[in-house]
Every structure is written in structure tokens, then in C-alpha cells.
Chain A
Amino acid sequence: MDPRPYHFLTAFGAGILLSLMVLFNGTLATYGSLLFASWVPHATGTVVALVFLALMRPKKASKARPPLWAYAGGVVGAFTVMATSYTMNTALALSGTLAVGLAGQMVFSLIADARGMLGLPQKIPNARDWAALALIVAGSLILIFFGGAA
């Protein structure tokens, strides 16, 4: 499925939220430990998600139970935090961590799409997708290394 304008805006908006999240959690980490700065947002996030679920009462998409591994997203997320906080304090620094992480994200996403990995729809990128990918990755790398985005 090609992205519609509302998918497009939602993803872009999610990226803005991510910037704010990094800023807020990063600020917390300057006052407390790294573990604290990851533990607090998970604790408050759990409570806030419960409130949202109670208010929105979203319908479950299917009666069939999801596989047990589908609940492991948070475990993988905890690994992300550990891996990035580790490499940030090596020769890679923040800019290297962001740049190499960007590559890891894109390579994994493309393989996941091509294979329809983990039960999500298969999606083969076309020439235009590759060109868009090259432009966005190039722009991001320039910002990371030269723009002071790090």
C-alpha cells in the first residue's frame, strides 16, 4: 500500500514526537542515572497507556490470540537503549551512533519488507522508493555530521 497523505503526515508527526521524547528523556538522564531515564518513561507510559485504553476502548482487531513473541517489543526496546547508550560513549560518539543506527534501521526495514517478516505485509521497494531513501539518508547524514543535529 502506498502511503496516503494522512499516513505521511502521521509518520512525520511521529518523528517530531520522537525528537521531543529524546529531549525529555535525555534531560532526565542528565539529572538521574541512565537506567532511571529509561525506567521512568516506561512506568509513566504504562499508566498513560492504561488511561488511553480506558478512554478510547479500542476494539481488538482479531479474536485469535497473537503469538507470544508479539509481546516482546519492549524487550527489544530495552536492548536498543543499552546498545545506543553504550556506543554513544565510545569513539563513535552520538553522531556515529545515530549514523550507523540509521543504516541498521534501514537495512533491517528493507529486509523485513521484502520478506514480509514477522507476519506483516510484504512490500517490495521500487526505483522511486530507493531514490527517496537515498535523499533522506543523505540529508540526515549531513545534519548528523555537519548540522549540529547531534
Chain B
Amino acid sequence: MIWFVLIAFLGGASVSLSRQINGRLSLSTSAMHASFWNHIVGFGLLSLMALAFGGLFAPGTAEAPYWAYLGGTIGVVFIALSSWLVAKIGAAQTALLIIAGQMISGVVLDIVMGAPGNPLARIIGVALILAGMWLSQRKR
């Protein structure tokens, strides 16, 4: 169990590390350049892994809805925005506000798509996040 927790923790830390590295690249180039390099380097690495281990194409792949292929387009904008933000407002603020946006829109998506969930927990969770955002945004 300790091993799983350690890997999950490192997985989270790697999100911030990758953002820090892309942010540094954007300081020398631009946020969109950083996003481009992030994607092409990842693409190269994953292609090598596909060649080495196989298993890239599975039966049923062709049946995915067309909109499921739009993740990369969103990812380009996401990486560019977060590379720009991390150099401006710091890693912790960037991470916190992105998490806030992800959590609250996650609740909205869940409700829209009819996913089951506890309404009271959703209200309390969203209220705490909004309170935290209000606090960090208030004029000093």
C-alpha cells in the first residue's frame, strides 16, 4: 500500500514538475512553443514505447466518437496557458486555481451527464473551493 501511495504521490508531483519545466522553456521561447515541445517530445517517447512494446491499436478503436479525438487540441491550449501562468503567479497558485476549476467543472459535468453523487457533499465541496478562491483573490 505504501508503494502505491508513493507512486500516486510522485505522479502528482510530476504534474507540477512538468509544469515548472515547461514554464522555464516558455521564459526563453513562448508559452505556445513550450506546449509544442511538450507534445512532440511526448509523442516521440510514446511512439518509441509503442514500437518497443506494441499494443497501440486495439480492436474497437475505430468505434470511438469523433469528439473523443479532440483531447489533444484542448491539451495544447491547456499546456500553453499553464506554462504562462506558472511563470507569472507561481507553481502553488497555478496548481490550486487549476484544481479549483477542474473540481467545480467536474461537478457540473457529472450533473449534466447524470453521474450519481451526494448533493450535500457536492455543495459543501464547491462552497469550500469558492471560499478558498475568494480568499486568495481578495485585495491585500
Q: Which residues of A pack against B, CB within 8 Å?
A: 1-3, 5, 7-8, 10-25, 27-28, 30-33, 35-36, 38-46, 48-50, 52-53, 56, 58-62, 64-67, 69-80, 83-84, 86-87, 90-92, 96-97, 100-110, 112-113, 117-121, 123, 125, 128-129, 131-136, 138-140, 142-143, 146-149
Greatest chain A CB density within 10 A among B35, B41, B103 is at B103
Residue pair B65, A12 in contact (C-beta under 8 Å): no
Tell me the B88-120 residues at the A interface (CB within 8 Å).
88-107, 109-110, 115-118
Enumerate chain B residues within 8 angstroms of A1, measured Cβ to Cβ: 88-90
CB distance from B127 to the nearest CB of A (A): 7
Enumerate chain B residues within 8 angstroms of A139, measured Cβ to Cβ: 103, 124-132
Of all A-B residue pairs in the complex, the 10 with the closest CB atoms, nearest first, are A15-B101, A148-B117, A104-B12, A139-B128, A135-B132, A101-B12, A74-B41, A83-B11, A11-B97, A44-B72
Given contacts A41-B75, A43-B72, A132-B96, are A70 and B11 in contact (CB under 8 A)? no
Least CB separation from B113: chain A residue: A23
A28 to B93, CA, bound (A): 31
Enumerate chain B residues within 8 angstroms of A11, measured Cβ to Cβ: 81-82, 85, 89, 93-94, 97-98, 100-101
Given contacts A15-B102, A75-B45, are A147 and B118 in contact (CB under 8 A)? yes
Residue pair B20, A84 in contact (C-beta under 8 Å): no
Residue pair A71, B8 in contact (C-beta under 8 Å): no
11 A-B residue pairs with Cβ-Cβ distance under 8 Å, sorted by A, are A3-B88, A10-B85, A11-B82, A21-B74, A40-B71, A44-B72, A56-B32, A84-B11, A102-B12, A107-B13, A119-B27
Count the B residues whose beta carbon is within 8 Å of the partner chain — how many? Answer: 119
Enumerate chain A residues within 8 angstroms of B57, measured Cβ to Cβ: 32-33, 36
Counting residue pairs across A and B whose Cβ atoms lie within 8 Å, the total is 440
Residue pair B81, A24 in contact (C-beta under 8 Å): no
CB distance from B11 to the nearest CB of A (A): 3
Given known contacts A14-B78, A96-B8, A104-B12, what 9 new A-B pairs fall within 8 Å (CB)? A17-B81, A41-B75, A71-B25, A72-B21, A100-B11, A101-B9, A143-B129, A148-B115, A149-B125
